[in-house]
Amino acid sequence: MAERFVEIYDTTLRDGTQAEDFNLSVEDKLRIAQKLDELGIDYIEGGWPGSNPKDQQFFEEIRRYDLKHSKIAAFGSTHQAKNRPDTDPNLKALVDADTPVITIFGKTWDVHVRDALRVSLERNLELIENSLGWLRQRVQTLFYDAEHFFDGYKANKEYALKTLQKAVDAGAECLVLCDTNGGTLPHELSDIVKEVAREMGPEVKLGIHCHNDSEVAVANSLAGVLSGCIQVQGTMNGFGERCGNANLCSIIPALVLKMGYNCSAGKNLQNLTSTSRYICEIANLPPNKYQPYVGASAFAHKGGIHVSAVMRNPETYEHIRPELVGNVQRILVSDLSGKSNVLAKAKQFGLDLDSSDPVVMDIVARLKELEAMGFQFEGAEASFELLMRKASGSFKKKFDLLGFRVIDQKVREDEPPQAEATVMVQVGGQVEHTAAVGNGPVNALDNAIRKALEKFYPELKNMSLRDYKVRVLPGVAGTGAKVRVLIESSDNGDKWGTVGVSHDIIEASWQALVDSIRYKLMKSEQEGKK
């Protein structure tokens, strides 16, 4: 059987940036392009050089980079109806971008030709043929995106096919069928792609470009491949306008692991999760933890029965091994947990416990008690590890709190308040009493406790607070309600979460801060013994 190979065309840097809240600088785009090249993406669409200076600068800069595999594509439209191809600034900008690949789109849907372009159907065919014909002589590889193809095909099949034939006649190497409005369903799309493949003939290469407005962009892309497309366009994490584009983080593993297709990125699947999260970090957006394959929750297990099963055989509740896509299995702890969850976490933490140990049931009971009070350990595994070590007797207390005081004082209405915290701790037989200011009471408290402890534990200087979240818990309305504070801390690339709960936001913050520091000290001690 001949090898079935699919080209992966990424448009995160162009189509993806049309997503709400997803913004990239030129430097960001360059860094992402390098990461996509490492993953093995075949084509990277860098932007529309005729539309803004940022994209033009990207194309100038990317020439200086030695990409190992990926080819850069410049994107644009057919020439304006009032211009000739050789005088059209958009086409000239595409050529000036000096990329090995150019992708241009044209109108397929007769409604768009009349209402958007406001030209005759015949004139639109001329725009497609003339634009591609002019570019064909000036670029190595030329692709044509048939915009709104599926809507156009359903409205006027004969005309939609004519637009494709003009693109082929003018030298397009691949016809990319676009579900631009994202309204086509897989059964429709599959039938249409098969019909187009029959009409155009086996020598014409087809691609698929789907949007997610009906929540089926990934399914449509896979259906397109099964129906004859050899190129898939999409974005990392599904970023894109409105509801997003087809998500390559789901498409690539589905093609390789489930459908028997090959692609260059499939050889580097173990880098998929890290690439997905890297792009979120660059864009300063939190990764979607519930995303298939690469999300933090994609292989997370919470129910005790599920955990018991996956500990014996992961296939019982995992459709693939997470390591194949660079992800990891996670065992969550909550009020749904049983002994299986606790034993799995104990193994992860290096604690020697077995199912008959009474400590296990003590931990389960304490966990349920704390969660009833409002604690949540799914995002605070460092706090849960401390809880387990205290219960098992393996926790070594490094300091004791003797007291703290926080003053938040506003002197003038037009000036920010001034926060100061004083703490008293005991380390061994020595009492340390210090004060510090900060940007708000919690920051002041954090600064004060660090100041008190760093003389004893200098490794705390390497620790930083990355994130701080407060949630008001249901139960008591208004300002008397309990709050839950989640803190994420890090040092040298490692990160961990801790939690605190109280009617007093400062007390809840203190609990989470102290757990974070205690976890850091415990971790440093363990690393020192290695």
Q: What CATH number did the domain enclosing 99 receive? A: 3.20.20.70
SS3 of 411-452: CCCCCCCEEEEEEEEEECCEEEEEEEEECCHHHHHHHHHHHH
- What total of structural domains would you count in the chain? 3
Establish if 293 belongs to a structural domain: no
Residue numbers of the domain that contains 194: 7-282
- Is 513 inside a domain boundary? yes
Residues 235 and 278 reside in one and the same domain: yes
Residue 511 within a domain: yes
User: Which tops the pLDDT comparison, 409 or 174?
Assistant: 174
Span 37-75, pLDDT tens digits: 999 999 999 999 978 889 999 999 999 999 999 999 999
Q: Which helix (H) or strand (E) holds 243?
A: none
The predicted model gives 369-395 an average pLDDT of: 81
Assigned domain for 142 exists: yes
Give a yes or no: residue 387 inside a domain: no
DSSP for 493-511, written as a single string: TEEEEEEEEESSHHHHHHH
Same domain, 190 and 123: yes
Q: Is there a domain that residue 501 lies in?
A: yes
Task: Give the model confidence (pLDDT) of 236-286 as tens digits.
Answer: 999 999 999 999 999 999 999 999 999 999 999 999 999 998 999 888 888
Higher per-residue pLDDT: 224 or 472: 224
Phi, psi dihedrals of residue 11, rounded to the nearest 5°: -125, 30
Taking a C-beta distance cutoff of 8 angstroms, is the pair 311, 340 a contact? Answer: yes
Residues 153 and 205 in one domain: yes
What CA–CA distances, in Å, run from 78 to 45, 137, 524? 17, 15, 61
Helices (H), 374-422: 381-392
Helices 304-312 and 339-349: angle between axes, nearest 10 degrees: 50
Query: Tokens representing 520?
Result: 């850091």
Backbone φ and ψ for 476, nearest 5 degrees, come out as -110, 130
- Sheet containing 418-427: which strands, arranged edge to edge? 400-409, 418-427, 430-438
Name the helix (H) or strand (E) containing 206: strand 206-210
Q: Which residues contact 477 (CB under 8 A, 6 or more apart)?
A: none
Q: Do residue 316 and residue 265 come from a single domain? A: no
Mean pLDDT of 491-497: 83
Question: Is the model's pLDDT at 476 over the cut of 60?
Answer: no
Q: Which stretch of 159-168, 181-190, 226-235, 500-509 has the lowest confidence by average pLDDT?
A: 500-509
Q: Is the pLDDT of residue 340 over 70?
A: no
- CATH number of the domain encompassing residue 431: 3.30.160.270
Residue 133 has pLDDT above 70, yes or no: yes
153, part of any domain: yes
Q: Read off φ and ψ for residue 43, nearest 5 degrees.
A: -130, 135
Domain match, 153 and 232 both: yes
- pTM, entire model: 0.73
For 124, the token pair is 């639109």
pLDDT of residue 406: 92
Average confidence (pLDDT) over 504-508: 91
Q: pLDDT tens across 275-316, in order?
A: 998 999 888 888 898 999 999 889 887 766 676 777 677 778
Cα separations in angstroms, 335 against 308, 364, 371, 469, 522? 16, 8, 6, 21, 26
